Chain A
Amino acid sequence: MAEQKRADRQAAPQDDVLDIRNLRIEATVYPPGEDPKTIVIVNDVSLRVGRGRVLGLIGESGAGKSTIGLSSMGYGRGGVRITGGEVILNGRDILGNARGLRRIRGKEVCYVAQSAAAAFNPARKLMQQVIEATLEHGVSSRDEAQKRAVDLFRQLSLPDPENIGDRYPHQVSGGQLQRVMTAMALCSRPDLIVFDEPTTALDVTTQIDVLAAIKNAIRETGVAALYITHDLAVVAQVADDIMVLRHGKTVEWGDTRQIIEAPKQDYTKALVSVHAISHEEQAPSPAPILTVDKVTASYGGGQVKVLRDICVDIHAGQTLAVVGESGSGKSTLARAITGLLPPEQGSITFDGRTLANRLADRPKEDLRQLQMIYQMADVAMNPRQTVGTIIGRPLEFYFGMRGAERDARVAELLDKIEMGKGFADRYPAELSGGQKQRVCIARALAARPKLIICDEVTSALDPLVAHGILELLLDLQAEEDVAYLFITHDLATVKAIADSIAVMYRGEVVRYGRTSEVLAPPFDAYTDLLLSSVPEMKVGWLEKAIESRRMDAGGN
């Protein structure tokens, strides 16, 4: 068998590890109340990855990126069938050879999942899991495998490489776990690794370290890789070639530099120029609409302090962006302002009057003028209510509108968010991600608020869709003169829309002021780290950013 394999490898062209030809993948969907139907997920996609090369697969959700990635292991997720084409790994077509797959997976091709926390077995130590595939395939002895794992830990710049393998998955941070997973994939010396959005779930400040580690490890081991992501700026840092996918078809395939600097297709051009929003910073007015004065808040009855002496102002019709990594207290600040988490000390003044600390003590009028939009639009709407009910309820509740008057206003609001009034009878499940978020915006607008708190409203969306939402928010701000408290970890968004910025770190505001001031040097160490961690759509940005950093990210 081994001889056979060697012969196979020799027969293959020297530089192609993976050669996918005319791949077609279908799935059967079961819409309620209708007959099952077959949909095409991937349609006639061909790609090649040479030895030691990295191919970036990029596209919005539903483009078929992950499905193609998994097909290189001969795997289709539940209900998905590979119905056409060839997947040639190391010169052999692996489709239709179900018994051979077990010998390939984990040995010749490995997989790095998006959520490392969900992919590790919480009951076993990291080392056992890292070397499991290596031992299973008999690639090397246990001692050798462990030695290699430690080497890989070092290569991936994990702290304490000799002993980190003795920890359990919950004992290391998210960014570290993602790197351990990369070590797991590299341990059996595979020829190909599939990275499926390995940094998407991480903070920007952590993402940069993981990216650098992955890039370094790929270069040192000479492995070929498929790198799947929706973030073009990220893939520009690690990939040699990029393939842009949309609706299961190839849009453009080319050299990274060409795709980033001279895209040929309109869709690629749109992706490359996604953050270009023109917004003019406004000067603060003398009387802010909302003043947060020395607010301190904590969870668990004073046990865990999450906000310390926060002072920020929001001016009417302007945007304050609150930025920081996860755990910095951004969302807690929103909860304190809305009264969901009553502040322990300090006061919140809104439109000239002091707001009651607790939500239950606030009059309806205060609640109306302060609305909120959530990150996950699909759980922010009741799945059993139609769009008409969702948008119409604030109208009924605050203004007592009924019947035709209400319906007319709902139609007007739907028009404002650039959706037709035909959407009024739809349920949230029948909307796309961007449409859901638009409906949430309409619900907030229905109350005619003076301030809307936007909690990471674009971070669950595809770049182009997020771009549309941001533009909509800015248009609405101009029309309705509403102020935004914009919570985000994405500095690119902030640069595009904010009038003033508050940078939060471990429950404190470390930098606060007008956008132009905050984003101008000299920087404090944390703002510098944050700013330098935002991937730019430039080849070679990563190396420069790593070199010029002054402070290590928190997860390390």
Chain B
Amino acid sequence: MFDIRHIPPSALVGLLLTALFLFAALFAPWIAPYGNGEIVGEVWGPMSAAHPLGTDNLGRDLLSRMIYGARITIFIAVTATALSFILGSVLGFTAAVVGGWIDQTLSRFVDLLMSIPTLIFALVVLSVLPSTLATLILVMGILDATRVYRLARAVAADINVMDFVEAARLRGEGRSWIIFREILPNALSPLVAELGLRFIFAVLFLSALSFLGLGVQPPDADWGGMVKENKDGIVFGIPAALIPAGAIALLAISVNLVADWVLNRTSDLKGGRGDG
């Protein structure tokens, strides 16, 4: 089933790049030539054999910063996405299955959160709360969970009226069986497809926050933060800011390619005619 010939080229490119980013993130301390905060040369030094991507605004090795940045970016995005999925899908399924006032309260609360522009909401919350990693992940996760909630609730509401769920109810099954054994397996494919997209949005959201100075705090930096640090160089023709910006775009595209492929494959299993 996982025959490499059946993977379309676009998905293969996506998989390869995603794997590369993950590798960099996982093994950052071992593959980075210099330390994260180590000043090794002059400010905004050009690309050279010693510093393949040049140095940044404080004279740190940009390649090493990029590798450590991948670690931070991907770690935060992954945990925030995981949080949003667990929170969003469990609440969404519960709302759809239980219905009534629980559904109403949850749904209207989610509507309330969604009516406020995400970035502004995050800016306000993060500038009030102490800026730690945990707050950052929590804020991102909860805001993203509203989107997942909507999807999970819609999908579960569809499945909830199917005869096999009614059969389970007539058998006398409890709610947790209905949610986790009857509905979840059938709701998985749209959720998995959404997972890739939400991860990308988390990366972009984190980058935006860091660029505005409310994300990861110095001396650590994710890619968004690195764009901010080096943005003044652009005026002098220094490309240091473009490298993390390009990495953000590349990560988003490659994960998207993988998500597309996964969506096609899962719709295959449902009997649709995906081209996976």
Chain A positions within 8 Å of B, measured between CB atoms, are 30, 32-33, 79, 338, 340, 359, 362, 364, 367-368, 371-372, 374, 376, 379-385, 393-394, 397, 429, 443, 447
Contact = CB atoms under 8 A, between A and B. Distances in A.
A343 B109 CA distance: 34
B162 A384 contact: no
Contacts of A79: 273
15 contacts: A32-B1, A338-B170, A340-B166, A359-B170, A367-B170, A367-B171, A372-B167, A372-B170, A374-B167, A379-B163, A381-B164, A381-B167, A382-B164, A382-B181, A397-B173
Contacts of A383: 186
A488 to B, nearest CB: 17
Interface in B147-186: 162-164, 166-167, 169-173, 181-182, 185-186
A280 to B, nearest CB: 31
Nearest to B187: A384
B1 A367 contact: no
B171 A32 contact: no
Contacts of B186: 382-384
B220 interface: no
Contacts of A384: 185-186
Contacts of B273: 30, 79
Residue among B1, B170, B185 with most chain A CB within 10 A: B170
Contacts of B1: 32-33
Chain B contact surface mostly = helix
B49 interface: no
B269 interface: yes
A32 B268 contact: yes
B271 interface: yes
A117 B37 CA distance: 69
| Central interface residue in A30, A368, A374, A447, by most chain B CB within 10 Å | A30
Nearest to A382: B164
Given A32-B268, A384-B185, A374 B171 contact: no
A367 B172 CA distance: 7
B163 A340 contact: no
A382 B1 CA distance: 23
Residue of A32, A359, A372, A381 most packed against chain B (CB within 10 A): A32
Given A30-B273, A384-B185, A340 B170 contact: yes
Interface of A is mostly: loop
B172 A397 contact: yes
Contacts of A393: 171
Among B171, B185, B269, B271, find the residue whose CB has the most chain A CB atoms closer than 10 A.
B171
B5 to A, nearest CB: 10
Interface of B: 1, 162-164, 166-167, 169-173, 181-182, 185-186, 268-269, 271, 273
A485 to B, nearest CB: 14
Nearest to B165: A382
Contact of B162 (A32, A368, A379, A443): A379
Contacts of B164: 379-382
Contacts of B271: 429
A380 B167 contact: yes
A333 to B, nearest CB: 15
A382 B164 CA distance: 6
A364 B269 contact: no
Contacts of B268: 30, 32
Given A379-B162, A379-B164, A380-B164, A32 B172 contact: no
B166 to A, nearest CB: 7
Contacts of B171: 367, 393-394, 397, 447
Contacts of B170: 338, 340, 359, 367, 371-372
A374 B269 CA distance: 25
Residue with the highest number of chain A CB atoms closer than 10 Å, among B163, B271, B273: B163
A389 to B, nearest CB: 9
Contact of B185 (A359, A382, A429): A382
Contacts of B172: 362, 364, 367-368, 397
A469 to B, nearest CB: 17
Nearest to B162: A379
A345 B107 CA distance: 34
B102 to A, nearest CB: 15
A452 to B, nearest CB: 11
A376 B167 CA distance: 12
Contact of B269 (A32, A362, A394): A32
Contacts of A447: 171
A394 B164 CA distance: 13
A367 B169 CA distance: 10
Given A30-B273, A32-B268, A380 B169 contact: no
A498 to B, nearest CB: 23
Contacts of A371: 170
Nearest first, the 3 A-B pairs at minimum CB distance are A384-B185, A380-B163, A367-B172
Contact of A374 (B163, B169, B181, B185): B163
Contacts of A362: 172
Contacts of B181: 382
A359 B163 contact: no
Contacts of B162: 379
Given A376-B163, A380-B164, 11 more contacts: A32-B1, A340-B170, A359-B169, A368-B172, A379-B162, A379-B163, A379-B164, A380-B163, A382-B186, A394-B171, A397-B171
